[in-house]
Structure 1
Amino acid sequence: MLTMASEKPILYSYFRSSCSWRVRIALALKGIAYDVVPVNLLKDGGQQLAIIHYLEDTCPNPRLLPQDLKKRAQVRMIADHIVSGIQPLQNLSILKQMGEKKMEWARNCIASGFQALEQTLQHTAGCYCVGDEVSMADLCLVPQVFNAERFKVDMGPYPTITRINKALLELEAFKVSHPSLQPDTPAELRA
């Protein structure tokens, strides 16, 4: 959750949350300083893609949604596919229900989603998910690839996803927002 109660926004964040990471990237790209209040998602709630839409509406530079309407639709389609079709299937609450099969479940869900995503990106990608400008789709992609790696998904079948992810991780906003650099990251997971 992001609140605007003070001069600086406050981001209620969990170091490894895909949702929190997407917001951290957006804040870094837009140059917005913020305070972090760590939230343990094992006990509390998470973030919404709506925060990124809010940031886009209130701080439109740099743009996270292209002006070109076709590209804008492609960005939304890719972002929605990741945040609605892949990421929720490996949320903590779902994985708890899967018990001993949680790793296999997560790998299968991610691989299935990545198969469709790889095909889409082969038609939309330039340097990034849609063309050569960082977009909301890219903010969704990087945390999902991180989760894929965490769950030991074979990334070999997804060369476009891998190439885009590598390019994005070279950008400062993606580096500073990485889970290993967050204040609530356990010491053994810090970079």
Structure 2
Amino acid sequence: MQLHSFFNSSTSYRVRIALALKGLPYDYVPVNIRNGAHRDASYVERINPSASVPALADGDLHLGQSLAIVDYLDARHPEPRLIPADPEARARVLELSYAIACDIHPVNNLRVLRYLQDTLGVSPEQKDAWYRHWVDEGLAMVERLLAKRAAGPWCFGDRPTLADCCLVPQIANAQRMGCDTERFPLTMAVYRHAAEHPAFRAAEPRRQPDYQG
């Protein structure tokens, strides 16, 4: 397998965590989204029509979108499962995962922030305020969802799921952007627990071959 990834992409980070949890080897293919490599015609045509990262290549399959990739990995390599088979548990994990992947991340990714600044002309201060506002609203929602879950060190019980794969990169990015994440104690307890796990450590941006300090 190959993973087309960028070290600081939270969506790529999710997939790296999933691959590490499952112990699956892969070749890391850097795609520098800061200089627009994800929009290169050959990449879009051959690898990922979404013009984004991550993209997984597994034989003849080329698959974009992080949640679709994790679902595929679960189907092909079901242990450990990251999306539970039980309908209620599955729904709860997806509820929290989608809260991050569909509500928080899309309005704060690099292309949106660049559009705000480069096309709409907002100031860097306004751009940062935009980012912090949506992260704050989104993490408050995550905190409420975590308050309803079964007790455990992870988002849902005693083993990591897709929800943890989504939560950790979102917190890492929020902290990098100067957000006050300590206002969300349940969320931060999961984040700190995950930080001690070898798979989550291996997936950290600073441990990737294309890391830029």
Among all aligned residue pairs of Structure 1 and Structure 2, give the percentage whose two residues are the same amino acid.
Answer: 41
Residue type of the alignment partner of 1:52: V
Moved over 3 A (4+): none
Amino acid at match of 1:24: R
Distance in 2 (alpha carbons) for counterparts of 1:63 and 1:136: 9
Question: Match for residue 159 of structure 2?
Answer: 133
Residue of structure 2 in register with 1:13 after alignment: 5
Q: Could you list the per-position Cα deviations for residues 31-73 of structure 1 after superposition, in whole angstroms to 9, with x for gaps in the alignment? A: 1010011001131122212111100000000110223321111
Report how many residues are paired. 179
Query: 1:128 Cα deviation (Å)?
Result: 0.8
How far residue 181 of structure 1 moved from its aligned partner, in angstroms, is: 0.6
Partner of 2:16: 24
Q: CA deviation at 1:123?
A: 1.0
Task: Name the SS of the counterpart of 1:164 in structure 2.
Answer: helix
Larger Rg belongs to: 2
Residue of structure 1 equivalent to 2:112: 94
Q: Match for residue 85 of structure 2?
A: 67
Report what 2:202 is aligned to.
Answer: 176
Q: Which moved more, 1:173-182 or 1:92-101?
A: 92-101
SS at structure 2 position matched to 1:124: coil
Q: CA deviation at 1:97?
A: 2.2
2:193 & 2:86 partners in 1: Cα distance?
A: 23
Q: Distance in 2 between matches of 1:113 and 1:37?
A: 31
For structure 2, the residue ranges without an aligned partner over 5 or more in a row are 39-51, 55-64, 118-122
Are 1:110 and 2:135 an aligned pair?
A: yes
Take 1:117 and 1:170, find their aligned partners in 2: how far apart are those partners? 21
TM-score by length of structure 2 reads 0.81
The RMSD of aligned alpha carbons is 1.0
| Contact 1:98–1:105, Cα closer than 8 Å, also in 2 | no
- Give runs of aligned pairs for residues 155-170 of structure 1, distance below 5 A: 155-170=181-196
Q: 1:33 aligns with which of 20, 25, 36?
A: 25
- 1:5 corresponds in structure 2 to none
> d(CA) in 1 for partners of 2:113 and 2:80?
36
- Distance in 1 (CA, whole Å) between partners of 2:204 and 2:149 is 25
